[in-house]
Amino acid sequence: MSELVLRPGVHFGSYPQKPESRLSDFEQGASAFFDILHKRLNRQRFSQAYIVSRVEKVAAPLSNYNEQQLTIAILELRENLYRYGLTEELMIRAFALIREVAGRTLHKRHFDVQLFGGWLMINGMLAEMETGEGKTLTATLPACTAALAGIPVHVITANDYLAARDAEILKPLYLRLGLKSGAVVDGMDLELRRKLYQQPIVHTTNKQIAFDYLRDRIEMGEDVGLLKFQFKQIQQQIKQPKSNPLIMRGLCFAIIDEADSVLIDEAKTPLIITQTRPNEASPETYGDALYLASSLFINDDFVMDPKTRDVELTQQGENTLADMIIGLGPRWKNKRWREAMVKQALIAEYCFKRNKQYILKDNKVQIIDEFTGRVMEDRSWEQGLQQMIETKEGCLISEQREPLARISYQRFFGRYLKLAGTSGTVREVATEMQRVYGLHSVKVPTHRVSKRKLLSERVYATQAAKQRAFLQRVAEIHAQGRPILIGTGSVAESLEVSVWLEAAGLVHRVLNAEQDQHEAEIIAQAGQLHAITVATNMAGRGTDIALGLGVSELGGLHVIALNCNESRRIDRQLYGRSARQGDPGSCEAILSLEDTALREFYSSAILKTLAGLAKDQQALPGFLGNLILRLTQIYNERQQRNVRRQLSKQDKHLSRILAFSGKFE
């Protein structure tokens, strides 16, 4: 595909997007294999030494340019990029010029490794850069280069705070290059969103942009295919010349920061636009269902798989329900409806816990992302589960929602003409990134040698022994004056750890979904002398924990993980908060065999045997503790991968059905 046509124009119309892939899984795998082979045969073009030497050669005279000469160089480059597209020579010139302008406006000059990372992204690849290597500044290279060529660029990150922050920080660079920019975040009306999407560079989140895309699809109705889509746009402009009902300008080029979080962690949940409708059931009905569920006994009346959240009633359970519904109203006599309601009540009671899967805020149930610990604004569970949990918590019952349009992240991001990204934790999911999104991952070396000390995991037999060892360790590090970041798996766990520290007289701050509006302030202080910060998995990801005066000399930030995360990748995300950009730092995990993740994976007999190997409240041998954690994570990673694969297959199947019926999504 010629890079010249990546923007709106004659070839793709005013709303460019890649046609839906019809390849089978085997064909996708074969395509990924040949893509990797092609890149390896051209490895010189994708080597750091090659890129840096060429940029340095072009950049040499730029430092002597005055502002007027620099402006002329920018205008000439912009004209050539727009005319000839993203040729290798012009991209090299663009990188040299952007680096010079960044040095003058942001007082930050791209390092060699950042030039290499930016080169990978402008060529549609995934740059694996360690935390603290300046991924935000690196992304300006491909973003500004593409924008100068007239290609609309979407810079996508994991949350609204980071999108707004990056847009504001980088604004001086964009303006000096003659590029306008903006941030599309939650709470904006459609008119403002439409205006911001007209800018050359838009910072936003995966959730915001995917839902805006679905709104455009709904607006365009049920027409299928590129020609019909463009024809309807022309019709609309003839009827209302100054009105454009569409929000965006198509899907041209996306650069995804924290790509694994966006493309992997959140990819198992489809995005659905809904409309409200009155509840079929009354609040009393939900209450009755919860009462009936509380009268049933697990294994006798029902069996449950807490991992998949599947519930099946036994014959005894069905008979018990039939006996208990007397006097509850005529609708309860419907066997299928009755059992469906009780199953949802059982799921709400056993599988969804406050401060783990959701929090109560302003007397409303708000869903928590279990991977990041962040509140997922405006999200709700389907099929009456939301209302069931609201009833359980005594909240006002919200209206039910019915779907208008849906799409998975796999399909949405697959529609960009060009996709690229960066993250510090990619290697574990590199194969999936290539197979699903066609993103080839390349490791970028660090600017400075990492000084991070990774200590062995300590796994104790009991929760009490873990708590004792943890408090002893915190007191020891705290006495040295070093700051400590404590990673927990849920809001509930972060609050429990806070109680432990308070009882021990250790002053600390908590960062979780209940305090996420203060995230920047809390993280800004997390690297100061004697600071203790308790955080959920969000842990200020995407923000820099700057070390206070004298902290480096003491050994830097120390990170303690207190739970077994679902993947090794999430462990590395947490550990990556320390020892950034050549700073010193250390990290370790302190766990127990009574932790939920281990109890759910191992049988009670195995756990009892393992507990017997821990002598006198001591931790298990290091190699054994490591093996226990890795087996759990390997299994969970496989399970999550299967969930995402099933969602992708279901999405393709649904797409074929809807296409046959003449609908978009």
Q: Which residues are annotated as a binding site for ATP?
A: 114, 132-136, 544
Q: d(Cα 646, Cα 155) in Å, to the nearest integer?
A: 28
Q: Answer yes or no: are the C-beta atoms of 482 and 558 closer than 8 Å.
A: yes
Cα separation, 388 vs 395, in Å, equals: 10
173 touches 140 (CB < 8 A): yes
The label of the residue with tokens 């990546």 reads 6
Q: Which two tokens stand for residue 107?
A: 């007082």
CA pair distance 556, 577, nearest whole angstrom: 11
**CB of 257 closer than 8 Å to CB of 135:** yes
| Most distant pair of Cα atoms in the chain: their distance | 89
What whole-number distance in Å separates Cα of residue 408 and Cα of residue 647?
Answer: 8
- Which residues have CB under 8 Å from 268's CB, separation 6+? 640, 643, 644, 647
Per-residue b or e along 580-603, where b marks 16 or more CB atoms closer than 10 Å to that residue's CB: bbebbbbbbbbbbbbbebbeebbe
Element (H, E) at 484: strand 484-487
> How many Å apart are CA 118 and CA 142, to the nearest integer?
6
Q: How far apart are CA 212 and CA 224, in angstroms?
A: 19
Q: Which amino acid is at 226?
A: L
Query: Would you list which residues are annotated within the binding site?
Result: 114, 132-136, 544
- What amino acid is encoded at 663 in this protein? K
Give the H or E element holding residue 167. helix 160-176
For residue 54, give every residue at least 6 positions away whose Cβ sits within 8 Å of its Cβ, in sequence order, or none.
92
- Euclidean distance between CA atoms 346 and 323, whole angstroms: 18
Cα–Cα distance measured from residue 76 to residue 98, given in angstroms and rounded to the nearest whole number: 14
How far is the C-alpha of 210 from the C-alpha of 187, rounded, in Å?
15
Q: What is the CB neighbour count within 10 angstroms for residue 498?
A: 19
